[in-house]
Amino acid sequence: MGSHNLFTSVKEIKASMEYKNSSPIGSEHLKEDFAQIRQIAARYLSAAQLGNSKLVQADFMFDARIRGYLHGAFVDLSAKEFFNFLDENEPATLLAVEIEAIDVIGTAASLRIDCRNWHGIHYTDFFILVKIDNDWQIAGKVFDAHENREILLGNDI
């Protein structure tokens, strides 16, 4: 399965230059796109670890939706409701994030990250992004909470 890069800080995300993706990295422009998307992942990690949605609000489109299953129930949140969730809950100080994939085609992109130990739960998040005026924005997020089932990730569970 290859090596896993588990990030527990923004500094680690920014320092990592490995990309697991299906898009070729051939141009400087594409490298800039990947760097911007990785910075979004870094801000997302910081917002969760600090319990401060202001760190990531500008990265979400105003009408973005966050959807998935948590504790067996379907969750469908607006971006504002998600920000309230971040602000009203305890900071996820033990959270670690692994960037699994970034895929960029023109002005559309996807980002897949594994979030480990967000208050004891392991999530896989799939972000859909769109590039507007040279800035990437999160149009939506779909997640899976890996509660009550094992995830095989090498030695990291």
Q: How far is CA 35 from CA 4, 12, 18, 125, in A?
A: 19, 13, 11, 18
- What is the predicted pLDDT for the residue at 119? 86
Q: With b meaning 16 or more CB within 10 Å and e meaning fewer, what string describes 118-147?
A: beeebbbbbbbbebeeeebbbbbbebebbe
CB-based contact 122:116 (threshold 8 Å):
yes
**pLDDT at residue 122 is higher than 70:** yes
Mean of all residue pLDDT scores within the chain: 83
CB-based contact 140:128 (threshold 8 Å):
yes
* Residue 120 CB partners (closer than 8 Å, separation 6+): none
Q: How far is CA 86 from CA 24, 54, 56, 65, 103, in A?
A: 34, 9, 10, 15, 26
pTM of the entire predicted model: 0.78
- What is the predicted pLDDT for the residue at 149? 52
pLDDT band with cut points at 50, 70 and 90 for residue 6: low
Q: What pLDDT, in 10s, does the model give residues 79-115? A: 999 999 999 999 999 889 899 999 999 999 999 999 9
Phi, psi (rounded to 5 degrees) for 103: -130, 125
